[in-house]
Amino acid sequence: MALPPSGTQWQLTSGGTEAVVVEAGGGLRSLTVGGVDVVAGYPREAMASAGRGQLLVPWPNRIRDGRYRFAGRDHELPITERSTGNATHGLVRWESFRPSERDDDRIVLGHTVHPRPGYPFALEVRVAWQVDPRGLTCSTTITNVGPDSAPVGYGAHPYLALGATPAQQARLTVPADRVVLVDPDRKLPVGTHEVGDTPFDLRGGEALGDREIDNAYTGLERGADGCWTVTLEADRTTRLWGGPGLDWVQVFTGRSTPEGPEGHAPGIAVEPLSCPPDAFSSGEGLVTLAPGATWTGQWGIEVD
């Protein structure tokens, strides 16, 4: 049998929850609860499209021109998004992750980012996927295993499934009071603004309507457990939560762009992030990991 494009497939089960995690990028291909799709994933015989379920390490979103300055040195990354002229979504999306722990409901995958032109730093990435009867939890650690301090960002790119609900009728609640505005051509930040009295205000949970959003939010309201929660009300109610260290969340409706969900399972990307777009240039939210230091982040998805 031919190897699937996303490599080895690992199925996780607990109660009525089933997930498939893949070798390529260590990402999430599918998640169902009670046989109903919770994420808008992709088929076994296909590559991940539009970032579906992928991990974004050591940076999420875009770096302007692929260039940045860190610790007094200039670096230049390959341009991976030709339409905008930027380096996008990190270095691990298509790399192999290998299992170190495996149970029916849990798997731990690891990958080493070796130094290379544009990113001369060494990282050990460890991601644990676990399911339970209500959904899924993703726990990630990134450890600097090189001799020099390293710039690090993290993101994940799940699409929450809409099912048969049109995107215009879906209700999305994002408990954030600020949004990162971007220029329409290169999708790079032009400023962070209060959401009040703008189309980006999603605090009230009203229907999306004709909004087209591809923006990062911050100023997230957290509960007593230290987590923020984004809620999507479509065919079912789905909640994506993020813990400490994840201070931004990207929302991508994708209805008007070629790389969006058109032609694929309908969904809205809700992406937990440790930093906003172009953080390697701005320094905003950027983590500087000393040799031997570790960054940890956790997020998850639950359904009613």
Contact 18, 11 (CB under 8 A): yes
Rounded to an integer, the average pLDDT of 82-108 is: 97
Residue range(s) defining the domain that contains residue 276: 9-303
Q: What percent of the chain has pLDDT over 90?
A: 94
Contact 23, 5 (CB under 8 A): no
* Residue 264: per-residue pLDDT: 60
Q: In which band, very low, low, confident or very high, does the pLDDT at 266 lie, cut at 50, 70 and 90?
A: confident
| pLDDT tens digits, 133-189 | 999 999 999 999 999 999 999 999 999 999 999 999 999 999 999 999 999 999 999
> Does 138 map to a domain?
yes
| pLDDT tens digits, 32-87 | 999 999 999 999 999 999 999 999 999 999 999 999 999 999 999 999 999 999 99
> Does 199 map to a domain?
yes
CATH of the domain at 209: 2.70.98.10
> Does 1 map to a domain?
no
> Does 3 map to a domain?
no
> Does 52 map to a domain?
yes
> Does 4 map to a domain?
no
> Does 22 map to a domain?
yes
In total, how many domains does the chain have? Answer: 1
* Residue 35: per-residue pLDDT: 95
